[in-house]
Structures are given as structure tokens and as C-alpha cells.
Structure 1
Amino acid sequence: MGPLVWMCWLLALPLLQSAKILTVCLIGGSHYLLFDEISYNFDLHGHEVRMLLQLGNPLVTGLSYAGRNGSYQTSTWSLGEDYIKQYNGWFLEQQAQFLLGRDSFNGFLNFMGHLSYQCDKLLGDGAQMGFLQAERYDVAILDAFNPCSFILAHKLGVPYVAFYPGPLNGPLSLDVPGAVSWVPAFGSQLTDRMDLWGRAKNLVYSLLGTAGQKMVWSLFKEVAERHLASGSPPGGLDDFHQKAELWAFNTDFSLEFPQPLLPSAILTGGLLNKPARPVDQDLDSWISGFGESGFIVVTLGTMVSSVSVDGLLAELVDGFSVIPQGVIWRYDRQRWPPHLSQPSNVRLVDWLPLNDLLGHDKVRLFVTHGGQNSLLQAVYHAVPVLGIPLFGDQFDNVVRAEAKGLGLGLGPARITGQLLGSTVRTLLREPRFKSAARSLSRIHRSQPAPPALRLVRWVEHVLRSGGGAHLRPAWLRQPWYQRCLLDLLLLFLAAVGGAVLLAALLLRKSKSKSKTTGPPRSKKTQ
């Protein structure tokens, strides 16, 4: 959007008092939950909101795709039933591999390859693109995890706000000015307290992260060249990131390690956190049957609740069967292996009201995959966690939870019934975990404004001020070698080297002259 259009918008804003906002959600699961909440809140504050929602990615069972209570508009798009069936079959197989403890970068690249294919088809849909371009949105709010969102915004010619659904060090997030010596890189599974080998590991992972992001962009480069009038930006994904008016991250410093932020980066973690409502009478009666022992909530995410890995399930059942607490476990009951018994203290449910259960006065522990939303809900309700990370940022998330004292982590490949039972008992018996959870909850809840309001007000600020250029430092436009002062270092080395060389030449010339003239002759005494 050019300066003239921005100026017209600024003049009209006091009269309009609302903006036309496009939210872009091309991935399901927790991404959809977040963008549903974002869309709802902007609608609640008087803005005209439409969500572009891609159907076909595994979405959340039980939620309407038409928006919460019809409060905002949606445009849905799909590749068709045949592709959806094929894609979801591949995706479920990936989840099974994660439950076996097999997470790899190749799997991530395969996932990005699918998103690139979907992106090409979406951008090539003339009717859909024509409709969105005709709407003339004032701003788009993008899922910054998916590079396609940025290409789409540029094709529509709409200024955009990048919302990243994970922590600050995500694999495809803005390069914040962190120091390698104390800000963990994505995938390093380090804390901010690193020894010599930890810093060495962090440096390697930082370099690998840059290379990995370029590999991801290579999957989208041809799509951008094919659908953008200006072609693929020379800086690739970095160029798209730097042109965002604002960056919002789904985290805050109750979980995140302290680190410097750019003025254009805001923290909005906890969008899904709400005061708990009473659970239904049947479930509450079942919980009451366990008395003061209380209950445990178990869910490994919206996308893996129907994946069967018999060996892991058997170990989980063995571990849960030896504890006195009730266990409410989100799992597709139709996919439960018929040969596997279900302990009397375990209740399987196809869907559970996670926020309300975590806010229940009888909840004692949350067993989670370590998704960002789940951990933030645990922090909000002050519930200790047992993290079983499966893929992506979940490994780093669980490390943060452990470092903050919120709980403990177990890799899925390590789990045995005995180890699970003993870990659960440790978390329940040692008061330090509950104490840390309460402390983190106070930090999270006592911020000046709730996360949804922070996001709304910052986007409104960007709209009223004519964009986010005043928030973006020149550092973002510098080449990497200038950011690292390598050109200055090279100049310094050249100057020092030149001075040393000059001194060596002068010394050599002086010695050569001394040899030519020889020592002075002494006079003979008469």
C-alpha cells in the first residue's frame, strides 16, 4: 500500500472508526483456534473481519468453521476431497512417527512441501483471489508460520501484521536481536544458562537455523515467482518478514527467557486463556468420586488424539493405573485398541473443555505434548505439567517449562509405565512445582492489559499511524555482514595488517641498509 493510500486511510479513520481486516488461516488445529480468537476479538472491537480459512488440514473437532456465533465472516477454500483424504492420511502417519519419538527435519520439509503445493493452488484460484482483491482490506493478519501467508498478502497488495503462533525462537519467525551466548536457538533444547559446550551447540544450531530457513523458502520461491508481479523477493523470506508492519508472538515472559525485542515485536501469549466455567454435571460427578486425590488431564494435542501407537499406549495405561487420581484423557474412543484394557480411573473422551478442566479446583496435573497454547493455559491456571514433546517447538517449550519450575519432561521413546508413574508421583508430591506454577500464573495474569486487547490496540496503533515503519530499526535493512560488523572487522584487520606489513618492510629496509654500509672503521693508533 503506497503513501497516498495510507494518507487517505488516516484522514478517513476518525470517521470510519473501524477497519476492514483479513485474517489468514491456512493451517488447522491450534492455528485455527488462535485465529478464531483473533478474528472474534477484532470483530468485538467494531472492526469488519473476514477469515480466509483453508479446509482440509486437520481441524478442531466440534468447532464451527463459520466463525464463533457467526460474529465474523469467513471465506473457505479447499483442494477437494481426494487431496484432503491423501493429505490427512500422510499427516496421521507423521503423527504416529512423532509418538514413536521420530521427529526429523526432513519430515518438516515434507510438511512445508505440502503447504507450498496448497499455496500454489490457492493463489491460482482466480475467483477467490479476485474476490479478496475487490474487498480492499486495510490490513491482513497472517499466520507467520506459513510462508504462503506472506505471498498471499503481497499478491493482494495489503499491508500485514505477522502473528507467530509459537515462541520467539520459532523456525520461521522474525530474527530478533538475540545473543548466541544466552538466547537459545530453535531446536537446541537449551536454557538461557549455557556452559561452554552449550554455547558451542547454540552457535551451531543458530547457523543451522539460517540454512534451514533458506531450504524452506526454496520450496516456496517458484510459487512466489509465478504469482507475484514483482517476482520472488531477492531476500526471500527475510524480505517478507521485514516488511511486516508489526510482529506479534504467542508467548510472554512467564514462559519465555528474558531477551531484547525489536520495537515492532509484541508478546500476546495467552489468547485462549479464560476464567474457568463449571464442567457438565456428569463429568463433575465422576471427578468428585476421587475425593481430594483429584484428577489429571491428559491431551497430546488437537492433531494426535486419534493416532494409535500400541506400545506407547500400553505404557501410558500402566503408568496411569497405579496412581489414585482420576485421569481424563482426550482420545478417540473408536480408535482405542480393543486388546488394551482401560483402567477404572481412566476416562476417555473425544473432546474435553481444557480451559475449564485446568481451572477446576480438583485438577492436580496436566499431561501435555508441550504445545504453546497448552502450556500457557497451564500457567494461567497454575497447574504443574508433565511434558511429552512430539515435534516442532514442543521440545524447546518443555525445556522452558522445566527451567521455570513448572514441571518435568519425558520423551515418548523413554516412557515406561514405571517411569511415568514415578514421575507423576514426583510432580504431585513435591510442592515446588505447584509453587512455581502459582508464581508464573501471577506473572502472566498481572500484565497491564490482557493479550487480546494488547493485539487489538497495537494493530489499531499501526493503522492510525500510517504503518509500522516507525517501529522498524535500520538494523533490519542491513546486510548480515553489516549487522555482525564483519565489514568493520575486515577494515580493522586490514589496517592492522597494513601497519604490521609496513613496519616489517621498514625494518627489512633498515637492516638491508646496515649490511650495505657495514660497521664504521676504527683508526689505527700511531
Structure 2
Amino acid sequence: HYFMMDEISQVLHNRGHEVRMLLQTGVLMIPGKGTFPRRDLSRYLDFMNHLAYQCHVILNKSEILNSLKDEKFDITVMDGCNPCSFLVAEKLGLPFVVVFPGTFANGPQVGFPSPLSYVPVFYSNLADHMDFWGRVKNCLMSLVSAIVQYQVQTKFENIIKEHFPAGSRPVLSELYLKAELWIYNTDFSFEFAHPLLPNTVYIGGLLAKPAKPLSQELEDFIANSEDGFIIVTLGSMLSSIPLLEVLQEINTAFAHLSQGVIWRCQHSKWPKELKLASNVKIDILWLVCLLPTGGMNSLMESIYHGVPVVGIPLFGDQHDNMVRVEAKNMGITLRIDQLKADKFTRTMKYKSAVMSLSTIHHSHQLPPDQRLGRWLEHVLQARGGAHLQPYAFQQSWFQQYLLDVLLFLSGSVLGGALLFSSCQCSYWKIVSICPGIEQKSSWDILHEALLEVI
């Protein structure tokens, strides 16, 4: 998340804008955060509770907030994964642009049309091609997602009551719809196709850069690896896995490969009791196959460079990301609890598919940094992004789903049916009382009765 915001700051700075970054210092990773099972929502809610506590601390820093107000900023660009970002922007009274460092997972919260028949819900582990049971699961997951979002927002209610005056207290669900722009770190070379709103910009690949020359040591290593290379990058999640057991399996698998392997890891963190295979080197380099944990930045870089992926997802959005990797045929997923050397060696392929995705990604008229800069400047010049937001954001939920119209039409049809039935009943009563009147039609009798009443 920090890398993404830092790169955006640099892009804006390079375009002549003055930028300030508000960064809260503290524990970068919540203890145990990387170890929770994927469906253990209580851990996720605990993490949100921790963010709520941090939010309380930030909003109590009146000196910092007042100094930011005095800067007279034009706009706020913020990380959309932390609900507190919205409250800080609201406290400063600034318009805001939101960066979401992943897929369009929060589409329902920000107003995207998200048909459950082909738009998978976050945490569903579904692709867009769903069979009947897949659609059933997606519908049920949408209900779970709504409940979780409600629970997340309730964790910030006391923060809002404490730091905002009565009568002008924001509601998080409404703040999500208030953003001038939503910027996503994804791309349709990776994401499933589905509807977006005009205030949506996707800049996947912003962190990807052209390859740089290698050191002589790595060049020599490459020269001895005629079949190409593999890079392993478990990132910040390395301490969150059963280290020795997993590393042993991966290392054993690599010993049977003809490719050279570069393992992105600090030497000090490598277990001393585990001897590296002869074709494995600990360092960082250019690659022909990527082994990440499924984080978005690594996956967009693999598309940028046309590199297949063998992913080992651990938590959060990584599982859903790897569903997309497999659906796009750019790689395969290996579960951390089923990681065996023989499975590992059978998955080194998919080069052709990922090269096609790379071509799609590079065929945009403008690169990600220029799309980002131009859209932000468009909002600044237009003095906001209201013209990009649908009127639906100002409607009640029952108006958006036409429930009031359906109720009116249903009532009209029912009322008409009851009126006709009543008239028919009256007609037959009149016929039974006045023999011979049956020669007149029911509509004639109704017309005469109305004239008499008038």
C-alpha cells in the first residue's frame, strides 16, 4: 500500500504538483495478521478494530490536523482500504480521490453495477464463468459481505460520534459514494470484464518498470542457466508461513529443475539448517517465472514483463487474485498446506498466455502514470467530479431498484382487477333483480350508473 501511494505522490510531483504525505508510524504488520485462515472473519474484524483505534489517535492529533487545514490543499488522495482515510478527509473538509490497491473488490460499496450472475463477490473464490451452484454461492457470499461491511462500519461509529458534531456526522457508506474519483491498481488484462462508472480509473502496472541491467555476478549466473530463470518472492509474508517445512519442499523441487532460481530473501532470514540447491541463488533479478504470494503489485509486474506465475496465496485478496491468474491461464495456484515438490515441478508453463495479456496491457493509449495524472488534473480543473457520478447516488435504495414504481404498478393492476370484479358482481345483481336488462352490456350499465351518480 505504501509503495503505491509513494509512487502516486512521485507521479504528481513530476507533473508539477506540490504533494504532502500523511503517514502514520507504528507497527507495520499486525501480529498474527498473516496467519489467519482465509474464512476467519473474526481476525479481519479485529484488524478493523485496530484501525479504528488508530483512527481515534489520529483524530485526536488536533495540532497535526490544524496544520494540514492551514496548508489549504486542493484535494486529498488517500488509501481506500482504511475507513479512517475517509474520516480524515471529511475532518479536513477536502474533496478526495480514493486509491484502492487491488481489484474492483469493493464495487458494491462504491456503487458499481455488480450483477451477481457474473461479477464474483470478494472472498468468493469464484471466476466470472459461474455454473448454477457458483451463482448460488455468489448470492450467499453477497449477503455475508454486506453483513461484514456493516460490522466494519459499526466499529467506527463511536469514533464518528466523538470527533464530529451532532447534526453533521458523516456516514461511511455515504462517504464511499462521495469520492471524486476511484483509482484501482488493476487492469482488464487481469480483471474480469464488468461495468464501471465514469468516475473509475484503473492504473494497474503503475509500479512496474522496465528491466534494468544486472550486476556481473547475476549475469554470470544467468549465463549458466540456459533454460531461463524462476524468481521466488514471498514478500512480507515470509514470517507468516511454516517456514522450514515449506522452504524445504520448494528447495527440493527446485533441485530437479533445469532453470536457475533466484530467491528474494535476506540472507539473515534464511534457515541455517537448510542447504540451498545448487541451482538456487538468494538475490533479486529479472525472471522467466514468478512465485509470489498473490499480491496485486507482483501480479501486475508479471503481466507487464510477460512472466508466468505460480502463486502461493496466504491471506486477504491473494486467494481471489490467484483465481484470476488461473482463469486468465497465466499461472497456477499452490496451496500452502499442499505444497509438495512433485506438484511444484509440473507447473512451469503458461508463457504464451501471459505474453498475450502483456500485449493487452501495453496496448493502452496512455501508460498508467499518465492516465493517473490526467484524470486527477481533470478533477482539479473541473472543481470536482460530480459530473462523473450517477444520479443514483442521490436516490433512496427503493428508488434505485424501482420498488416504488413496481409497488405502484402492482397496486394499479390489483386495483383495476378489483374494480372490474366489483362491477361484474353489481351487474349480475342488477340482472337478477330486473329481468330483461341482461340484453345490455355491463359497460352500458356501468355508464348509466355513473351518469346517475353525477
| TM-score, scaled to structure 1 | 0.77
Q: 1:156 aligns to what? A: 92
Q: Distance in 2 between matches of 1:487 and 1:107?
A: 40
* Identical positions, percent: 43
Segment of structure 1 superposing worse, 49-58 or 368-377: 49-58
Aligned to 2:196: 261
CA contact (8 A) 2:109 2:173 kept: no
Residue 313 (structure 2) pairs with residue 389 (structure 1): yes
Contact between 1:153 and 1:160, CA under 8 Å: does it hold in 2?
Answer: yes
Contact persistence 1:305–1:332 (CA under 8 A): no
1:365 matched to 2:304: no
Of the three residues 52, 57, 63, the one matched with 2:22 is: 52
Is residue 2:128 matched to residue 1:206?
Answer: no
What's the CA shift for 1:92? 4.3
Aligned residue in 2 for 1:299: 233
Kept in 2: contact 1:145–1:172 (CA 8 A)? no
Equivalent-residue separation in structure 2 for 1:508 and 1:311 (angstroms)? 83
| Cα 1:394/1:509, change in 2 over 3 Å | farther
1:57 and 1:194 map into 2 onto residues whose CA distance is: 40
1:243 is the counterpart of 2:213? no
State whether structure 2 residue 125 is matched by structure 1 residue 189.
yes
The TM-score with structure 2 as length reference comes to: 0.89
CA offsets per residue over residues 370-389 of structure 1, 9 Å max, x none? 11111110000000111222
Find the structure with the greater CA-based Rg. Answer: 2
Q: Which secondary structure does the structure 2 equivalent of 1:162 belong to?
A: strand
The match for 2:280 is 346
For residues 393-432 of structure 1, what are the structure 2 equivalents within 5 Å?
393-424=317-348, 427=349
Distance 2:312 2:427 in 1: 73
Q: Residues 494 and 131 of structure 1: is their aligned pair in 2 closer, same or farther, counting only changes over 3 Å?
A: same
> Are the aligned partners of 1:225 and 1:231 in contact in 2 as well (CA < 8 Å)?
no
Counterpart for residue 440 of structure 1: 357
Q: Give the distance between the partners of 1:40 and 1:395, measured in 2 at CA.
A: 30
The whole-number CA distance in structure 2 between the counterparts of 1:382 and 1:168 is 22
2:413 aligns with: 496
Query: SS in structure 1 opposite 2:21?
Result: strand
* Alpha-carbon distance between aligned partners in 1 of 2:255 and 2:169, rounded to the nearest angstrom: 56
Post-superposition offset of 1:504:
4.8
Alpha-carbon distance in structure 2 between the residues aligned to 1:321 and 1:365: 16
1:465 aligned to which of 365, 379, 382: 382
The secondary structure found in structure 1 opposite 2:238 is: coil
After superposition, the CA RMSD in angstroms is: 2.4
Q: Are 1:94 and 2:30 counterparts? A: no
Cα drift, residue 447 of structure 1: 0.6
Pair 415,500 (structure 1): closer, same or farther in 2 beyond 3 Å: farther
Structure 1 residue identity aligned to 2:238? S
What is the letter of the counterpart of residue 421 of structure 1? T
Distance in 2 between residues matched to 1:199 and 1:519, nearest whole Å = 62
Judging changes above 3 Å, is the alpha-carbon distance between structure 1 residues 487 and 502 closer, same or farther for their aligned structure 2 residues?
same
Deviations 1:215-237 (A, max 9, x none): 11111121122222456746x32
Q: Structure 1's 147 and 320: CA in aligned 2 closer, same or farther, altered over 3 A?
A: same
Displacement of 1:103 in angstroms is 4.7
Q: What CA deviation, in whole Å up to 9, does each residue of 1:121-176 have, x standing for no partner?
A: 01101221122111111111010111111100111111111111111123896231
Residue 250 of structure 1 deviates from its aligned partner by: 1.0
For the residues of structure 2 that align with 1:369 and 1:320, how far apart are their CA atoms? 17
Structure 2 residue runs without a partner (length 5+): 438-454
Aligned residues: 436
After superposition, the C-alpha distances for 1:351-402 in whole angstroms (9 at most, x for unaligned) are x3xxxx3xx4xx3211111111111100000001112222122122111121
Partner of 2:256: 322
* Contact preservation (8 Å) 2:124, 2:320: yes
1:423 Cα deviation (Å)?
2.3
How far, CA to CA, are the matches of 2:214 and 2:398 in structure 1?
Answer: 56
Residue by residue over 1:295-337, the C-alpha shift from the partner in whole angstroms, topping out at 9 and shown as x without a partner, is 1111123x21344513333322232222222221223433333
